[in-house]
């Protein structure tokens, strides 16, 4: 319920901090409101009691010795600065008054005592024209018919309430700070480790199998979860490494027997006179060639991923190579009913392995042709910046799903648009990435704004390319 009150992009740390702060401020404000109301009510009762008590004392003094004793009391300083005394006649004429500056400016009632009997008292509240403070005034009819007034302002009460309110706000602020200390602990030992784990899982999703969950300062439960999760990852990584090693060893071991079988089939094909046998041996040779190509692709991909691929580096013009590829694929494009265009306006010298890069671009073109429907378009483009050269292959096919964008470059992974009729085993793009990786470049893919997908090969420009090294690793 509370999550709907915050923007979606606001982190849990800020959400929890703001929520606790709002709750503490609201609780403090409620406490202050209730306390202020209670204190005002109690102070009002006390003020009424004080006014009635002092009014009675001054009445006793006046009834005993007259106005002289009242004057003697005030002359001796027996009064407060926020208290005032008036004695008026029955006709309203002022006989005596002692009004300090703090009580000046209040309009005392004129007809409030019209129906009062001797010894009766009356309390009234008087507002000031310019001040917020109120005057609580009490009056009593004396024995001789004169009227005694005693008044007291609530300035002292208001100041007391304000002082208490400030103290309560300070206490609320300190309490809020102390309440945020558990939040700091929660963020440090729960939320931050969870965020670190999320970063690790993103790396895992991107294909970095070496990433592990780290939670050194987390609560024991998160540490136990990270340990169990990492144990599972280690087991999966060990099984994957074992499987990859088995694939590599199998590929190495298959090359020799496949070559022998092919030689025997060729000899049989060349020396038999049986037409059916020759046809069968020819089909067998084709299948063996496909298997040999698959084995070589696996070995090349594996070597490229570890930058152990043997490169025959030379200086070539990428534009000329793309023109050659464009001419080579024009016939296939026309056969499929596709529009195939080349965008390579400028020459681009580069030091690379012509055969390997040509193989990588050809794989991208094969994919684009396979997934682009009849009447679509495929574009082969070349662009150069100060830091790198980019080779792009654009198509108007179905595009890539969100999962394809991160997994499409992995071995034996096919795009979501692939079907049983689509050729390939899902190793073409992994071979592209391995070749580009061996050259120190990068591969990317994205969906186009209008339709289709765009695959790109980014290579460092020639001044940043490695020097030609005939023997860099496995063939």
The pLDDT, as a whole number, for residue 2 is 47
The answer to whether 122 and 139 are in contact (CB under 8 A) is: yes
- pLDDT tier at 272 (50, 70, 90 boundaries)? confident
pLDDT tens digits along 118-144: 777 888 888 888 888 889 999 888 888
- pLDDT tier at 333 (50, 70, 90 boundaries)? very high
Q: Which residues pair with 126 in a beta bridge?
A: 135
Distance CA 173, CA 175 (A): 5
Asked if residue 210 is part of any domain, the answer here is no
Q: Which domain, by its residues, includes 452?
A: 313-464
pLDDT tens digits along 21-36: 788 788 888 888 888 8
With 0-12 / 13-18 / 19 or more C-beta atoms within 10 angstroms meaning exposed / middle / buried, residue 332 is middle
Q: Is the pLDDT reported for residue 422 higher than 70?
A: no
DSSP character at residue 280: H
Give the closest residue to 139 by CA, choosing from 188, 84, 183, 182: 84
Asked if residue 471 is part of any domain, the answer here is no
Q: Which residue has the higher pLDDT, 407 or 96?
A: 96
Q: Is the pLDDT reported for residue 438 higher than 50?
A: yes
- Show which of 240, 272, 305 is a domain's final residue: 305
- Show which of 113, 130, 159 is a domain's final residue: 159
The pLDDT, as a whole number, for residue 474 is 43
Asked if residue 112 is part of any domain, the answer here is yes
- Show which of 141, 159, 177 is a domain's final residue: 159
Mean local confidence (pLDDT), 411-437: 73
The pLDDT, as a whole number, for residue 188 is 77
User: Phi/psi of residue 360, each to 5°?
Assistant: -65, -45
Asked if residue 246 is part of any domain, the answer here is yes
pLDDT tens digits along 186-217: 777 777 788 788 888 877 776 677 778 877 77
275 lies in the same domain as 400: no
Mean local confidence (pLDDT), 437-454: 88
pLDDT tens digits along 370-392: 889 999 999 999 998 877 899 99
Asked if residue 232 is part of any domain, the answer here is yes
235 lies in the same domain as 296: yes
User: What's the CATH code of the domain at 46?
Assistant: 3.30.450
318 lies in the same domain as 239: no
Asked if residue 354 is part of any domain, the answer here is yes
Asked if residue 182 is part of any domain, the answer here is no
The pLDDT, as a whole number, for residue 365 is 93
118 lies in the same domain as 250: no
Q: What is the mean pLDDT of the chain?
A: 81
342 lies in the same domain as 454: yes
Helix and strand element counts for the chain (H, E)? 10, 12
Q: Which of 92-96, 287-291, 422-426 has the highest mean pLDDT?
A: 92-96
* Residue 469 CB neighbours (<10 A): 11
User: What's the CATH code of the domain at 449?
Assistant: 3.30.565.10
292 lies in the same domain as 319: no
Q: Which of 142-156, 173-187, 247-261 has the lowest mean pLDDT?
A: 247-261
Distance CA 226, CA 212 (A): 8
Alpha helix ranges (H) inside 11-154: 12-65, 67-75
Q: Is the pLDDT reported for residue 467 higher than 60?
A: no
Percent of the chain with pLDDT over 70: 83
Asked if residue 250 is part of any domain, the answer here is yes
- pLDDT tier at 475 (50, 70, 90 boundaries)? very low
317 lies in the same domain as 300: no
Q: Which residue has the higher pLDDT, 260 or 329?
A: 329
Q: Which of 164-173, 281-290, 320-329, 331-340 has the lowest mean pLDDT?
A: 281-290
The pLDDT, as a whole number, for residue 320 is 93
440 lies in the same domain as 334: yes
293 lies in the same domain as 323: no
Q: Which residue has the higher pLDDT, 446 or 238?
A: 446
In the chain, the number of structural domains is 3
The DSSP bridge pattern shows strands 339-343 and 377-384 to be parallel
Percent of the chain with pLDDT over 90: 14
269 lies in the same domain as 326: no
Concatenating the DSSP letter of every residue in 199-252 gives: HHHHHHHTT-TT-----TTS-HHHHHHHHHHHHHHHHHHHHHHHHHHHHHHHHH
The pLDDT, as a whole number, for residue 185 is 79
The pLDDT, as a whole number, for residue 9 is 60
Distance CA 54, CA 64 (A): 15
The pLDDT, as a whole number, for residue 341 is 94
User: What's the CATH code of the domain at 254?
Assistant: 1.10.287
């Amino acid at each position: 319920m509370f999550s709907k009150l915050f923007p979606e992009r606001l982190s849990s740390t800020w959400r929890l901090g703001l929520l606790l702060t709002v709750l503490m401020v609201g609780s403090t404000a409620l406490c202050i409101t209730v306390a202020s109301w209670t204190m005002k009510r109690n102070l009002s009762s006390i003020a009424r009691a004080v006014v009635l008590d002092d009014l009675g004392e001054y009445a006793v003094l006046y009834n005993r010795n007259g106005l002289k004793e009242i004057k003697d009391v005030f002359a001796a300083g027996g009064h407060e600065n926020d208290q005032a005394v008036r004695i008026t006649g029955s006709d309203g004429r002022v006989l005596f008054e002692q009004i300090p500056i703090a009580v000046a400016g209040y309009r005392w009632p004129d007809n409030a005592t019209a129906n009062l009997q001797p010894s009766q008292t009356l309390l009234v509240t008087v507002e000031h024209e310019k001040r917020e403070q109120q005057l609580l005034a009490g009056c009593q009819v004396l024995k001789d018919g004169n009227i005694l007034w005693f008044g007291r302002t609530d300035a002292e009460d208001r100041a007391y309430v304000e002082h208490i309110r400030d103290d309560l706000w300070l206490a609320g602020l300190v309490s809020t700070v102390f309440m945020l200390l558990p939040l700091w602990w929660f963020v440090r030992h729960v939320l931050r480790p969870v965020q670190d784990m999320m970063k690790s899982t993103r790396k895992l999703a991107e294909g970095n199998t070496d990433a592990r969950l780290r939670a050194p300062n987390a609560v024991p439960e998160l540490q136990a979860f990270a340990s169990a999760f990492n144990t599972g990852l280690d087991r999966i990584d060990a099984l994957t490494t074992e499987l990859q090693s088995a694939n590599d060893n199998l590929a190495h071991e298959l090359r020799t027997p496949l070559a022998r079988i092919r030689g025997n089939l060729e000899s049989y094909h060349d020396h038999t006179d049986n037409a059916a046998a020759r046809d069968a041996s020819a089909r067998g040779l084709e299948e063996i060639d496909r298997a040999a190509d698959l084995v070589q692709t696996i070995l090349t991909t594996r070597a490229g991923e570890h930058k152990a691929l043997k490169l025959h580096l030379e200086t070539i013009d990428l534009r000329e190579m793309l023109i050659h590829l464009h001419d080579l694929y024009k016939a296939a494009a026309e056969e499929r009913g596709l529009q195939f265009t080349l965008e390579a306006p400028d020459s681009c010298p580069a030091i690379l392995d012509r055969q390997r890069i040509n193989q990588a671009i050809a794989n991208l073109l094969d994919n684009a042709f396979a997934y682009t429907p009849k009447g679509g378009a495929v574009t082969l483009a070349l662009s150069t910046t100060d830091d790198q050269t980019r080779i792009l292959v654009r198509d108007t096919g179905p595009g890539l799903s969100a999962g394809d964008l991160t997994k499409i470059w992995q071995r034996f992974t096919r795009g979501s648009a692939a079907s049983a009729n689509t050729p390939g085993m899902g190793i073409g793009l992994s071979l592209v990435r391995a070749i580009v990786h061996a050259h120190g470049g990068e591969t990317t893919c994205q969906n186009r704004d209008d339709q289709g997908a765009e695959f790109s090969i980014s290579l460092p420009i020639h001044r940043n390319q490695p020097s030609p090294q005939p023997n860099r690793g496995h063939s």
